[in-house]
């Protein structure tokens, strides 16, 4: 899973100023003064909130939980008040570009806005806390025995018994999702009222408004991107279904139609990399080395893995990380206390007190994750001269995509350059199918899931999906976009969306879809700048200072300009575009076409 950045987005000011316009209509000067005050107080509060969050995440006790909850509630409550006040200035004529943009950020920056009526913020917060806790404590069963969330996720990745997979899928969705249903409906009702007070049609429209374009245009944009990359997904779906049919037989997975959701190695069928051994093509499937084994053979420890990631950014011309990064980060899981292991990147002082929090293991997956997290850190430092409300990515997809674009550059040739792999071990072009298929099982398989989660929520928030149809709408979207079906019958006593963390956790999801598309666009732009010749997926832009300079031009803008401006600074283009992803997987697409010949693809 990908992670959130530090908590600054939530953090707002402790001290609430009196309304700036006691009498008469607010003026441009009032708006400017309000924004200046919000920035100053927001900056100060964010330092304190980040310290509290860090201590809580790396030293979990009842006490640090209580302190973090209190600061979180303060932040939310104050953010609501700021959003409400900023809405009052929104329509003043003659506002400067920056004041206007910052008012928009303040007004729309909340994930779940509470209405101002007494008691509403508390009720909303109580429900959100309850749902989060229900998810965290949730258990499924395996052979009738309770099994917790992280264990059941791991088991879904390795277990190949279709009856046990079905049991785990059904028990998790029944036990965790279903009990949330009525609370979730109430949460939607309250938050929508809050969104309307702020001038949005509903919460979904508020979320879509964060992309520098009208909310409806953003919905059209993601549909367009999906149509660009869909042929790749369709080919992968068809090929994977054939392999699952060969493995399990017609009684479990038919040769045609949708795929049974529990057979794809992941509770949500969102990334399929764990069943790569089932689909690996004979001969081309084994690339001949494993990065984790290489790291171990060369005596790398966890810190050296991080320093290697830092080395990539240094090779592009970025300044080294401060020594405090290594003193203060949680790189290895500490002994003797509870910590959050979920990988994340932090900026504690909005300047250069950068840190990561991981429980790093010496394997290929964590080597990639380190590059992802460092991408957040270098972004945070690059925009640290911007004013407080611009200390953010150009949009939320950008922040997630930077490190992933760098990680795509961990090619066999790059591993030779840094002395991890012998030149003689670099796999030939005959292994490309294996390299690309392994990547596609995660990155391509994710696309329709990344899209449908918020398509479901947009429908729920707008009322297009009635409360009585929550589960059907979810199952329908899963079928429409992913081509999958639940392994057991579902009805409206269930609430399958609740069995995915980001629904009870109220984390907008479209950022992950955008990030999957953007990372290939960034990667291809870097390879073009580096004048790479050859198949795109073999390109590494390690050591290229011009790439670093162009990348920095985008990163240092933070959120100060509309995202097309930032995209243009690096890539020369203003449109998000899925064709780079298609170009990257071109050899795989040919392979899939050949393999799928004569099959009835689609569902």
Q: Whose Cβ is closer to Zn ion: residue 402's or residue 529's?
A: 402
The verdict on 3 binding Zn ion (CB under 5 A) reads yes
Angle between helix 563-571 and helix 510-529 axes, rounded to 10 deg: 30
- Among the listed ranges 38-46, 385-393, 396-404, 539-547, the one in contact with Zn ion (CB under 5 A) is 396-404
Q: Are 510 and 222 in contact (CB under 8 A)?
A: yes
Per the CB < 8 A criterion, the answer to whether 457 and 308 are in contact is no
Annotated catalytic residue, options 173, 371, 376, 537 = 376
Total number of residues that touch Zn ion (CB under 5 A): 3
For the CB of residue 369, give the shortest distance to Zn ion in the complex, in Å. Answer: 9
Binding range to Zn ion, per CB under 5 A, among 62-70, 397-405, 414-422, 585-593: 397-405
x/- map, 87-106, Zn ion, by CB under 5 A:
--------------------
Least Cβ distance, residue 183 to Zn ion (angstroms): 28
Smallest gap from residue 598 Cβ to Zn ion (A): 41
Q: Which two tokens stand for residue 306?
A: 């991080």
| Total Cβ atoms within 10 A of residue 220 | 11
Q: Is 271 a catalytic residue?
A: no
Is 507 among the residues that bind Zn ion (CB under 5 A)?
A: no
Complex with Zn ion: residue 3 or 595, whichever CB lies closer: 3
Residue in 201, 342, 556, 583 annotated catalytic: 342
Q: Which is nearer to Zn ion, 236 or 408 (CB)?
A: 408
Binding mask 400-429 for Zn ion (x = CB under 5 A): x-----------------------------
Measure the CA–CA gap between 331 and 337, rounded to whole angstroms: 15
* Minimal distance, residue 404 CB to Zn ion, in Å: 8
From 3-11, 17-25, 91-99, 472-480, span contacting Zn ion (CB under 5 A):
3-11
Active-site residue flag, 512: yes
C-alpha to C-alpha distance for 520 and 581, rounded to whole angstroms:
5
Nearest to residue 48, comparing CAs of 98, 73, 3, 14?
Answer: 14
Which segments within 391-537 are labelled E, that is strand? 484-485
Segment near Zn ion (CB under 5 A), from 1-9, 22-30, 131-139, 146-154? Answer: 1-9
Residue 3 CB, nearest approach to Zn ion (Å): 4
Active-site residue, 343 included: yes
376 is catalytic: yes
User: Considering beta carbons, is residue 188 or 345 the nearer one to Zn ion?
Assistant: 345
Choosing from 4, 69, 502, 583, which is the catalytic residue?
A: 502
Is 193 noted as a catalytic residue in this protein?
no
Which helix (H) or strand (E) segment holds residue 264: the answer is none
d(CA 269, CA 274): 10
Tokens 């790439």 locate to 547
Q: Which long-range contacts (CB under 8 A, 24 or more apart) does 48-51 make?
A: 48/11, 48/14, 49/7, 49/8, 49/10, 49/11, 49/75, 50/6, 50/7, 50/8, 50/11, 50/346, 50/347, 50/348, 50/349, 51/348
Instruction: Kindly provide the b/e burial profile for residues 301-310, where b requires at least 16 CB atoms within 10 angstroms of the residue's own CB.
Output: ebeebbbbbb
400 has catalytic annotation: yes
Cβ at position 54, least distance to Zn ion in Å? 17
Among 39, 153, 197, 400, the active-site one is 400
The neighbour count for residue 464, using CB atoms within 10 Å, is 12
Stretch that binds Zn ion, among 2-10, 235-243, 268-276, 517-525 (CB under 5 A): 2-10
Work out whether 2 is an interface residue with Zn ion (CB under 5 A).
yes
Count CB atoms within 10 A of the CB of residue 325. 20
Task: Check: CB of residue 92 under 8 Å from CB of residue 31.
Answer: yes
Longest dimension (CA), the chain: 78
At its nearest, how many Å lie between Zn ion and the CB of residue 343?
A: 8
* Interface positions with Zn ion (CB under 5 A): 2-3, 400
Report the catalytic residues. 342-343, 372-373, 376, 400, 502, 512
């Amino acid at each position: 899973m990908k992670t959130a950045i530090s908590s600054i987005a939530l953090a707002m000011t402790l001290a609430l100023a009196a309304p700036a316009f006691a009498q008469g209509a607010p003026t441009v000067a009032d708006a400017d003064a309000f924004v200046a005050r919000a920035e100053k107080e927001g900056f100060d509060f964010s330092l304190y909130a980040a310290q509290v969050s860090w201590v809580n995440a790396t030293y979990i006790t009842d006490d640090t939980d209580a302190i973090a909850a209190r600061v979180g509630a303060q932040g939310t409550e104050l953010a609501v008040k700021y959003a409400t006040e900023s809405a009052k200035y929104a329509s003043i004529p003659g506002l400067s570009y920056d004041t206007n943009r910052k008012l928009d950020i303040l007004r729309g920056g909340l994930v779940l806005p509470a209405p101002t009526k007494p008691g509403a913020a508390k009720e909303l917060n109580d429900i959100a806390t309850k749902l989060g806790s229900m998810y965290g404590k949730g258990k499924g069963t395996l052979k009738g025995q309770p099994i917790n969330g992280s264990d059941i996720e791991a088991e879904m990745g390795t277990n190949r018994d279709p009856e046990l997979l079905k049991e785990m899928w059904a028990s998790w969705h029944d036990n965790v999702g279903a009990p949330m249903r009525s609370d979730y409906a109430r949460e939607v009702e309250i938050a929508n009222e809050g969104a309307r007070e702020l001038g949005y049609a509903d919460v979904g429209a508020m979320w879509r408004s964060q992309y520098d374009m009208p909310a409806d245009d953003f919905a059209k944009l993601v549909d367009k991107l999906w149509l660009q990359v869909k042929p790749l997904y369709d080919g992968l779906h068809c090929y994977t279904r054939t392999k699952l049919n060969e493995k399990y037989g017609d009684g479990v997975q038919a040769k045609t139609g949708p795929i049974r959701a529990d057979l794809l190695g992941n509770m949500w069928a969102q990334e399929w990399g764990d069943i790569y051994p089932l689909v690996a093509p004979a001969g081309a499937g084994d690339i001949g080395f494993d990065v984790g084994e290489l790291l171990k053979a060369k005596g790398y420890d966890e810190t050296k893995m991080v320093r290697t990631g830092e080395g990539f950014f240094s090779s592009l011309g970025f300044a080294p990380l401060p020594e405090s990064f290594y003193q203060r980060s949680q790189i290895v899981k500490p002994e003797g206390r509870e910590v959050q292991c979920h990988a994340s990147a932090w900026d504690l002082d909005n300047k250069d007190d950068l840190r990561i929090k991981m429980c790093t293991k010496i394997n290929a997956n964590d080597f990639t994750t380190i590059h992802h997290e460092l991408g957040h850190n270098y972004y945070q430092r690059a925009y640290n001269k911007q004013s407080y409300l611009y200390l953010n990515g150009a949009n939320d997809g950008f922040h997630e995509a930077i490190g992933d674009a760098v990680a795509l550059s961990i090619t066999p040739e790059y591993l030779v350059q840094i002395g991890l792999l012998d030149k003689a071990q670099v796999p030939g072009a005959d292994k490309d199918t294996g390299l690309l298929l392994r990547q596609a099982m995660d990155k391509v398989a994710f696309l329709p899931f990344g899209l449908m989660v918020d398509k479901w929520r947009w429908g729920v928030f707008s009322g297009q999906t009635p409360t009585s149809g929550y589960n059907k709408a979810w199952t329908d979207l899963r079928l429409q976009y992913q081509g999958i079906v639940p392994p057991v019958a579902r009805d409206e006593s269930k609430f399958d969306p609740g069995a995915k963390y980001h629904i009870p956790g109220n984390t907008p999801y479209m950022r992950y879809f955008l990030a999957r598309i953007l990372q290939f666009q960034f990667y291809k732009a870097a390879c073009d700048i580096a004048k790479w010749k050859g198949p795109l997926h073999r390109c590494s832009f390690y050591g290229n200072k011009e790439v670093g300079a162009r990348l920095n031009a985008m990163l240092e803008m933070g959120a100060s300009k509309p995202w097309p401006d930032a995209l243009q600074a690096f890539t020369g283009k203003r449109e998000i575009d899925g064709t780079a992803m298609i170009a990257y997987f071109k050899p795989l697409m040919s392979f899939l076409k050949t393999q799928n010949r004569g099959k009835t693809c689609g569902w």
